[in-house]
Structure 1
Amino acid sequence: MKVKICGIRDIKTALSAIESGADALGFVFAQSKRRIDPEEAGKIIHQLPEDLLKVGVFVNETKETIEKIVEIAGINVIQLHGDETPEFSCGFSLPVIKALSVGSAEDLSKLDEYSNEYFLLDSPKGKYRGGNGVSFDWSILNENLLLGKKIILAGGLNPENVAEGIKAASPYMVDVSSGVETEGKKDLGKIKRFIDEAKSMEKEEVK
């Protein structure tokens, strides 16, 4: 099971997450309490392994701004977390994660409108588009709609419920931000526990 730790803002957290087994790190360039400047993100990313997925998170941003930040920060995956159209979402040279807010089973029908490499299923938006620590109803996930798609499960995941989420959704990857924080800051112990829990599901499936 692949794991993405989102909302990275310092090199210590980034390296600790990688050491614990993270496959992807997320850097938020949209309005958020976890927002990071492209230049600061670039300083961190410059010290990370080349094959790691370094994801830039954007919300309803212009193509020009996204491409400029890609160049400055050195991210290698774009995450679109707003109301971007299918046409806009497939207009980049880098792989794109299209995030969809899932409040009902009907929301999953949007999966067929897009042709991106990855789809991130998140809970409905709160104050921010993501990172709100709330899960959506995993029972509405339809296997037929998800078939053949690289699904990233997000929204309200934490070390205590990630195993349950993986069982319910059988995702390609799980994504966490607030669920591995203590008092609004990334907690290295929680990050390790989250990754261990997620990776242990892979071992159970092999048995």
Structure 2
Amino acid sequence: MQVKICGITRPEDAIMAVTLGADALGMVFYPHSPRCVSIDRAAEIAAAVPPFVTLVGLFVDADAAQVREVLDRVPLNLLQFHGAESADYCQQFGRPYIKALRMKEDLDVAGTMARYPQARGLLLDAFRPGVPGGTGETFDWQRVPRDSGRQIILAGGLSPENVAQAIAIARPQAVDVSGGVEASPGCKDERKVAEFIRAARCRV
């Protein structure tokens, strides 16, 4: 099970998460998020990360020029789009990307996934009106498609206490956590990160 720790705001948290076994680290470039980082801070974090760890940049309906400015300064391996971005928008940067889908009750999950055929993965997150992510809320894991043939990343309210159950039900290829392993917004808790990764990789 691959694990992404998102909302990294400090180099020391990045190093800690990787040491504990995280496969990917996410940095948020959405100004309204309490976990948003500047380009300078993101570059500092990236410089501290060892090779073979995937660096992910999260954007929400960002101006394309903003994304390119970040890419000019920060060596991101993967882009994560959390808004209403079209497939054409996501593909214009020449980088692998994942598309987040907010699991609104009436969402046609399979149909929406099909609109992003080039996406490296689809991240399924909880829906709250007006909030593009980071709600700390879960959704019905039974709604995750089992036989889509796509790489599914499960997010939304995951924690050390529920991640094993979530994986057992949803059977994703990866899990993504932010608030569930924090001491405060943007500051990761080493014990929680360790417990989360351990629980995510326990066979259920």
The root-mean-square deviation of aligned C-alpha atoms, in Å, is 1.4
2: CA distance, partners of 1:105 / 1:51: 38
1:120 equivalenced with 2:123 (yes/no): yes
Preserved contact between residue 3 and residue 195 of structure 1 (Cα < 8 Å): yes
Q: How many residues align?
A: 200
Counterpart among 128, 132, 137 of residue 135 in structure 2: 132
2: CA distance, partners of 1:60 / 1:124: 16
2: CA distance, partners of 1:104 / 1:25: 29
Distance 1:130 1:106, change over 3 A: closer
Q: Point out the more displaced range, 123-132 or 164-173.
A: 123-132
SS in 1 for 2:107: helix
Aligned ranges for residues 152-171 of structure 1 at < 5 Å?
152-171=153-172
1: CA distance, partners of 2:166 / 2:106: 16
Q: Which runs of 5+ in 1 are unaligned?
A: none
Preserved contact between residue 14 and residue 48 of structure 2 (Cα < 8 Å): no
Shift of 1:77: 0.7
- Compute the TM-score of the two structures, normalised by the length of structure 1: 0.91
SS in 1 for 2:202: helix
SS in 2 for 1:14: helix
2: CA distance, partners of 1:72 / 1:131: 25
2: CA distance, partners of 1:68 / 1:183: 28
1: CA distance, partners of 2:155 / 2:175: 6
SS in 1 for 2:198: helix
Tell me the equivalent position of 1:107.
108
2: CA distance, partners of 1:105 / 1:195: 32
Tell me the equivalent position of 2:178.
177
Deviations 1:57-110 (A, max 9, x none): 000012221021012122111000000012212222111010010122633120
Preserved contact between residue 105 and residue 140 of structure 1 (Cα < 8 Å): no
- Compute the TM-score of the two structures, normalised by the length of structure 2: 0.93
Preserved contact between residue 102 and residue 122 of structure 1 (Cα < 8 Å): yes
Counterpart among 187, 193, 196 of residue 195 in structure 2: 193
Tell me the equivalent position of 1:24.
24
Tell me the equivalent position of 1:80.
81
1: CA distance, partners of 2:132 / 2:181: 18
Higher helix share: 1
Q: Point out the more displaced range, 102-111 or 172-181.
A: 102-111
Q: Point out the more displaced range, 36-45 or 134-143.
A: 134-143
What is the one-letter code of the residue matched to 1:10? Answer: R
2: CA distance, partners of 1:186 / 1:77: 21
1:9 equivalenced with 2:12 (yes/no): no
Distance 1:194 1:13, change over 3 A: same
